Structure 1
């Protein structure tokens, strides 16, 4: 019978071994890189089907490669140019890193040996047009097709085995156009953009290229890095980029297309998003309403009284024809005469409705007061009340328009006459 101490030691060693395997650094994947024990290496190979996911790279498209956190795909454009491209190839070989290269047809025509070196080193080779025009977004489709075909023909011609050419294409300058993309997709070619660049085509220092690559990768957490193997600044920045990738725990992924003998890596649709939504993240858009296909389309009959569970014995009797005719006749009121709306010219109502109503009302009050000047105090008081009433109405209307008081001249004149 095995003692408890032996069982305890066995379990301890098992736990320790599992801990070492799960916490191994990316350098552990470089065990297959002879002579370079500290190499970054290539952590895994991702097999993609261009027909299932025809557009990738979040700089322009919704989907990108189904990478895990801290996984990076290195891509290089515009080569091969012997001096700089050979140095990039050697740096990658020293680190046992596999990358994806997008070849220009003119470069392959001038340097076919450089294309064969890439294939021999195990890198993925796609195409990047014939001579890199930056007008794909406005170029006629027939001319774009000539550019696409030229790059494919000269790159495949430079290879010992043309079947090694991957059906991957990156539009020069990322000048995308829907017609060009549809043409490529119809031919089974996957359109590549990127998730972040290092701006190494600009006139900046190699240190700046290194900084941009790391900063943008850290902001994304994973993705496709766009570089150019023809640039001397890229050659100088690449060792520092690889050093930081290693220090920060990033892993390199090699991407290859499907073949008859190599099916696509199993993935889910959500993995092709750079940052898949979680259950705690609210969805901003409702799912689209599905299009239903109805097997039959017919008009239903109108419901009858029997369908409403009604009893015909209690239905109201129809009105007699005479009553219905009388109900349709509307009561007619006599038309009003024209005298109903007539207002005598010069009356107080007309004068009060005009802007000069105060003066007219004052003259009217004075005229009414003159014949009765000698009839005593009662006549004077009546005249004053009439003038005051005529004066108050327009004054109240003026106060509604402006709070500032206006000088009154009517009362003064009336008082003097009195």
Structure 2
């Protein structure tokens, strides 16, 4: 049994832990086996991601300093809040990450700010949100950003009332929903909700060859009442650490408002963005691909012609 690099302690209370409360996974979930690649019905494939080296209209843009490819065999962990082994960032390098999308208005605003600075990020969407707004998630892919997963419903997988089978369903259905929304499998990159890492699930992700993302610093944007609070908090922390994986949320309105100025501040401070990409996409499990598609089915709609349904009887 192969365990993810940098296995952390059970139930750790992380300084990077997010605080939004979300619904728990449904009961009666089935345990998942390591999958073979399985096709699933899905929307039309998203356009190919843009190159990080594409021409940039902003001559003073933050840009992307380098792109790194991640081999997720064995489930490596990233982010010093939980994982200490893979310190690949150089001084003044940052990785931008966004959780909880896609979401109307806020995610497109985040994408616009990133595009204006010609830079890239990793997005960890919630499966349900991906199923609600697949077109927004496709915009993320079209812009050339890396996309992973953040569970199906943002359930805390460290909840003692949750069975192992339910936790696995949260992981697998989340990836299947993102695959359905994009029309192609995302990166095998995963972030636990609230950064609660139950050891059994860390082991499972290692067996599934899925990389685990913690963070080096949290914006705590879900607590912020103003955009300026987010800017000041991130810059203070990154200046103290000198580099790091930054956790933000494209679900949050104030984050979208803060991002243009935050990116300018990072540029002015001499920081450079590193984009992380996966060596190969995740292999989803057919059972959960089918479960997501089943959830998308709508009740049968009558095909009767208008004049047989609605008739003017008085005017």
Could you tell me the TM-score, scaled by structure 2's length? 0.69
> 2:204 matched to which residue of 1?
183
> 2:27 matched to which residue of 1?
none
> 2:12 matched to which residue of 1?
none
> 1:255 matched to which residue of 2?
276
Distance 1:92 1:203 in 2: 21
State the 1:33 CA deviation.
Answer: 3.9
Say if 1:155 and 1:259 are closer, same or farther in 2 by CA, change over 3 A: closer
State the 1:78 CA deviation.
Answer: 0.2
> 1:87 matched to which residue of 2?
109
> 1:36 matched to which residue of 2?
58
Is 1:206 the counterpart of 2:232? The answer is no
Distance 1:225 1:82 in 2: 22
* 1:130–1:148 CA contact under 8 A, matched in 2: yes
> 2:174 matched to which residue of 1?
151
Say if 1:249 and 1:153 are closer, same or farther in 2 by CA, change over 3 A: same
State the 1:60 CA deviation.
Answer: 1.6
State the 1:132 CA deviation.
Answer: 0.4
* 2:157–2:197 CA contact under 8 A, matched in 1: no
Tell me the SS of whatever aligns to 2:203: helix
> 2:145 matched to which residue of 1?
123
Say if 1:203 and 1:211 are closer, same or farther in 2 by CA, change over 3 A: closer
CA deviation vs aligned residue, 1:25-67 (integer Å, no higher than 9, x gap): xxxxx98543211211111101111126611111122234501
* 1:168–1:191 CA contact under 8 A, matched in 2: yes
* 1:137–1:176 CA contact under 8 A, matched in 2: no
* 1:64–1:195 CA contact under 8 A, matched in 2: no
Q: Which has the higher contact order (CA 8 A, sep 6+)?
A: 2
* 1:64–1:223 CA contact under 8 A, matched in 2: no
CA deviation vs aligned residue, 1:70-118 (integer Å, no higher than 9, x gap): 0000000000002100000011011111100001010010001111111
Q: 4+ residue runs of structure 1 moved beyond 3 angstroms?
A: 30-34
> 1:170 matched to which residue of 2?
191
* 1:136–1:172 CA contact under 8 A, matched in 2: no
Say if 1:137 and 1:218 are closer, same or farther in 2 by CA, change over 3 A: farther
Distance 2:235 2:158 in 1: 30
> 1:236 matched to which residue of 2?
257
CA deviation vs aligned residue, 1:311-340 (integer Å, no higher than 9, x gap): xxxxxxxxxxxxxxxxxxxxxxxxxxxxxx
CA deviation vs aligned residue, 1:261-320 (integer Å, no higher than 9, x gap): xxxxxxxxxxxxxxxxxxxxxxxxxxxxxxxxxxxxxxxxxxxxxxxxxxxxxxxxxxxx
Is 1:196 the counterpart of 2:214? The answer is no
Distance 1:237 1:177 in 2: 33
RMSD: 1.8
Tell me the SS of whatever aligns to 1:214: helix
CA deviation vs aligned residue, 1:185-226 (integer Å, no higher than 9, x gap): 100001110000110011432111111101111111111000
Tell me the SS of whatever aligns to 1:73: strand
Say if 1:259 and 1:132 are closer, same or farther in 2 by CA, change over 3 A: closer
State the 1:137 CA deviation.
Answer: 4.7
Q: Note the residue ranges of structure 1 that are not aligned, 5 or more in a row.
A: 1-29, 261-418
* 1:136–1:171 CA contact under 8 A, matched in 2: no
CA deviation vs aligned residue, 1:110-164 (integer Å, no higher than 9, x gap): 001111111111100000000101343533211101101111111001113x14x
State the 1:241 CA deviation.
Answer: 1.2
Distance 2:165 2:53 in 1: 49
* 1:167–1:188 CA contact under 8 A, matched in 2: yes
Say if 1:187 and 1:52 are closer, same or farther in 2 by CA, change over 3 A: closer
> 1:100 matched to which residue of 2?
122
Distance 1:147 1:87 in 2: 28
Tell me the SS of whatever aligns to 2:97: strand
* 1:70–1:250 CA contact under 8 A, matched in 2: yes
- When the two structures are aligned, how many residues end up with a matched partner? 229
